[in-house]
Amino acid sequence: MNRSLTLIILIGMLCVILTLVIGKSMHKDGNTLPKYDERQKLDRGRGYMIAFYSMAVLTCLIPVALSEETLHFLGDTVFMFPPFIGLLIHIGYCIWKDAYIELNLNESKWTIFILMIGFANLLIAYSSYRSGRMVKDGVLQFHVANLIVGVMSIVIVLEIAIRKLVVGKGGDDDEESEA
């Protein structure tokens, strides 16, 4: 027991150190803290508000909207979906309001990192599915969180890429109309 506790503490310390090193390398100025302008801060606040109320409404609707069979299949994981959907709403809102990417962020490193996280989670989810740990006794298990995080990571990167394409085409028209 003592050995496993020591190993857990060492792994935790390694994770903290890796997070700090990776966080520092993601920012152009070498700082680990994000920098946002005032407009981004306001839009992020609105995004949090919309996500919170969406999550609250979803949490209230789940027992009413889903059948007993569906609730049984989802099991305890039913409570994971509103926070994940709220998070996706917040991120989507911030992306389209240009408030998600920090001012001091190295976007290419960040994108690669998010894709790595997404694919790693998808591999873990696939492994869980193949070994039969995703669904046990007809009830969805917590291993589905890896699938959700993997899909969300890829959706976030795709959404940012789509926004860049849309704004890139539309941004030229805005500049011409102002001139």
The DSSP letter of residue 37 is -
Instruction: Encode 34-48: b = buried (16+ Cβ within 10 Å), e = exposed.
Output: eebeeebeebbeebe
CB 108, CB 102: distance < 8 Å: no
pLDDT of residue 176: 39
Across all residues in the chain, what is the average pLDDT? 87
Could you tell me which residues come within 8 angstroms of residue 23 by beta carbon, excluding any fewer than 6 positions away? 32
pLDDT tens readout for residues 32-50 = 778 889 999 999 999 999 9
Whether this prediction's pTM lies above 0.95 is answered by: no
pLDDT tens readout for residues 12-24 = 889 888 877 887 7
pLDDT tens readout for residues 84-140 = 999 999 999 999 999 888 888 888 888 888 999 899 999 999 999 999 989 999 899
- How far is residue 34's CA from residue 173's CA, in Å, rounded to a whole number? 31
* pLDDT score of 26 more than 60: yes
String of DSSP letters for 20-69: HHHHHHHBTTS-SS----HHHHHHHHHHHHHHHHHHHHHHHHHHHHS-HH
pLDDT tens readout for residues 78-91 = 989 999 999 999 99
The DSSP letter of residue 172 is H
- Tally the residues of the chain: 179
Single-letter residue type at 153 = S
* pLDDT score of 9 more than 50: yes
